[in-house]
Structure 1
Amino acid sequence: MYQIIADETDFIVIAKSHNVHFHSQDGSAGVMARLEQDLHIKLFSVHRLDTLTSGLLLFAKSSLAAAEFTQLFTEHKIQKYYVALAKGKPKKKQGSITGDMAKSRRSMYKLMRTMVNPAQTQFFSQSIAEGLRLYLLKPLSGKTHQLRVALASIGVPILGDQLYGGEESDRGYLHAFSLHFIFRGKAYQYINQPVSGTHFTAPEAVKQLQIWSDPETLDWPKQK
C-alpha cells in the first residue's frame, strides 16, 4: 500500500502504491488511515493523489505544520513533478497545456479554451517504444484530475486511465515522481522511481527516468 520515504520531525513522505484510495471508502482503510494506524499518530493531509496514481505523498504531523504546508502549496512554493505513459502521437511533444477546467460527465473534467483561472502544466516527452511515449509533467496549479485531463486534451490519454479514454493496461500510468520545497528554512528534495507496471519498469523507461532524475534543473519554459 505504501513505503515510507522520509520520517521527519514535522512531516512524513511516503510512496503510495497505484490503485490505492487516498481516503477510506467501501469499508477499507485509505492510505492515510492505514498510515495513522500503523504509526499510531495523527496525520494531516496537505495534498492528495488519485486512486490510480502512485508515488510521493506528504503528510504533516501537526495542525501548525499542515497550515504552513498548505500555505506553501497555495503559493506554489512546493513543486511536484509527475511521470506518465501514453500511447499514440501527441499534438505536441513538449511545451505547455493551459486552460480553465470544468466538470464534465461521469465525474470527469474537461479543458476549456477560457483562461479565467486556468490549469497550467508544462511537459517534456520522449519516445520509449513504438507508439509509446513517456511524459515528464510539471503542474503549475493543483486542479482535480489536471494531468489526466491535460494529456487527454492533446490526444494522448494516460495508459490505463479508462475514465479519460486511456487504453486498458496493468495499471494507470501516472506517478508522482519528485517533490521539491523549502520548509522552515531547509531545502528538501525527494525522488521516487515507479516500481510497478510493465512499461514503467521496462529498460527504456528506466533509462529515461534516470535522465530526468533531477527535474528541477531541466530547461523548463519560462513562466509568464
Structure 2
Amino acid sequence: MLEIISEHPDFYVIYKPVNISVHQTAEQPGIIPLVQQHVGCQAPLWLVHRLDQVTSGLLVLARNQPSAQIFGRLFSDQQITKYYLAITTGRPKKKQGKIIGDMTKTRNGNWKLLHTKHNPAITEFVSTGFLPGKRLCLIHPLTGKTHQIRVALKSLGAPILGDPRYSPKNHESADRCYLHAYALQFNWQEKRLSYSCPPKEGHWFLAQTCQDKLACYDAPWNLF
C-alpha cells in the first residue's frame, strides 16, 4: 500500500508498492495522481526519478519546480546514494564485490552485460544466504543504467526471484519480483538526509529467516 515515509516542504519520500507504474498506463493513472489522492491535495508534484513497475520502495516526488530542478542535478551528478534489496536464486559466481561492464540491448528488449568497460554499469553488492537456493542481497548501484541491478545479478548466475524479464523460469512460482528500493541518502540545504524503509510485500521478504538477515543491513551507508 502506498505510504508517505517523509513529508518535507520541498518533497515527499513515498513507499511505492510493487506493480504500480510511476507513469500513466492504460491500466493505471501513474504515481502522481495516486499520491495526490492519498494526501488529499491536487497541488502539482514532479517525478524526479523512477522505479521499474515491478520494483517496490522509496521514491522521491518534488513539491515545487525549483526543487525538481535541484533533484534533477543531484540524480544526474550521482549525488544521491541509493541502496536496494533483492532476493536471488541460483548459485552466484561471487557473493560480494563489484559487477562492472557495458550494457547493450538485445533483440527481445532485454539488456545484457558485456565484458567491455567503455561506459560501464557499476554495481556493488553484498549477500547472505537465508534459505537453500536463496540469498538476500544489499545492492549499491554506482551508476544509473536501465535494468542495471536486474542484469548485474543475472550475470552472476543468480537472477532476482520473480523477475519476469530476467528470470522467467521462477517468475510464475513467485508472488512478486523481489527487488526493493531500500534506502536513500543525500544532502539537502546543507543537511545530510537518510531514509530507509524495508519491504512490506512479498512472502520471502517477510519470512522470519529473511527478516533476521535484514537486521544486518539497518544502516546500509556504513557497509560500502
Q: Tell me the TM-score range normalised by the shorter chain.
A: over 0.9
Q: What TM-score do you get using the length of structure 1 for normalisation?
A: 0.94
Note if 1:206 corresponds to 2:211: yes
Q: What residue is the counterpart of 2:60 in the other structure? A: 58
Q: What residue is the counterpart of 1:109 in the other structure? A: 111
Q: Render the CA deviation track for 1:51-102: whole Å, top value 9, x for unaligned.
A: 1000000011112111111111122111000000011110000000011111
Taking a change above 3 Å as real, the CA distance of residues 71 and 88 of structure 1, as seen in their structure-2 partners, is same
Q: CA deviation at 1:35?
A: 1.4
RMSD, aligned CA: 1.2
- Measured in 1, the distance between the counterparts of 2:27 and 2:196 equals 32
Structure 2 counterpart of 1:46, from 42, 45, 48: 48
- Measured in 2, the distance between the counterparts of 1:122 and 1:11 equals 28
Paired residues in the alignment total 219
- Measured in 1, the distance between the counterparts of 2:215 and 2:178 equals 17
Q: CA deviation at 1:133?
A: 0.4
Q: Is the 8 A contact 1:24 1:33 kept in 2?
A: no
Q: CA deviation at 1:117?
A: 1.2
Q: What residue is the counterpart of 2:155 in the other structure? A: 153
Q: What residue is the counterpart of 2:191 in the other structure? A: 186
Opposite residue 53 of structure 2, the aligned amino acid is T
Moved more, 22-31 or 185-194: 22-31
Opposite residue 107 of structure 2, the aligned amino acid is R
Opposite residue 35 of structure 2, the aligned amino acid is L
Q: What residue is the counterpart of 1:30 in the other structure? A: 30
* Paired residue secondary structure (2:71): helix
Task: Point out 4+ residue stretches in structure 1 off by more than 2 angstroms.
Answer: 36-39
* Paired residue secondary structure (2:165): helix
Q: Render the CA deviation track for 1:119-154: whole Å, top value 9, x for unaligned.
A: 110000000001110000000011111100010111
* Paired residue secondary structure (1:116): coil
Q: Is the 8 A contact 1:80 1:139 kept in 2?
A: yes
Structure 2 counterpart of 1:118, from 111, 120, 123: 120
- Measured in 1, the distance between the counterparts of 2:27 and 2:197 equals 29
Opposite residue 15 of structure 1, the aligned amino acid is Y
- Measured in 1, the distance between the counterparts of 2:83 and 2:28 equals 29
- Measured in 2, the distance between the counterparts of 1:33 and 1:150 equals 33
* Paired residue secondary structure (2:205): coil
- Measured in 2, the distance between the counterparts of 1:192 and 1:105 equals 36
Runs of 5+ in structure 1 lacking a partner?
Answer: none
Q: Is the 8 A contact 1:44 1:59 kept in 2?
A: yes
Note if 1:197 corresponds to 2:189: no
- Measured in 2, the distance between the counterparts of 1:158 and 1:24 equals 26
- Measured in 2, the distance between the counterparts of 1:201 and 1:214 equals 19
- Measured in 1, the distance between the counterparts of 2:53 and 2:152 equals 18
Runs of 5+ in structure 2 lacking a partner?
Answer: none
Q: Is the 8 A contact 1:2 1:31 kept in 2?
A: no
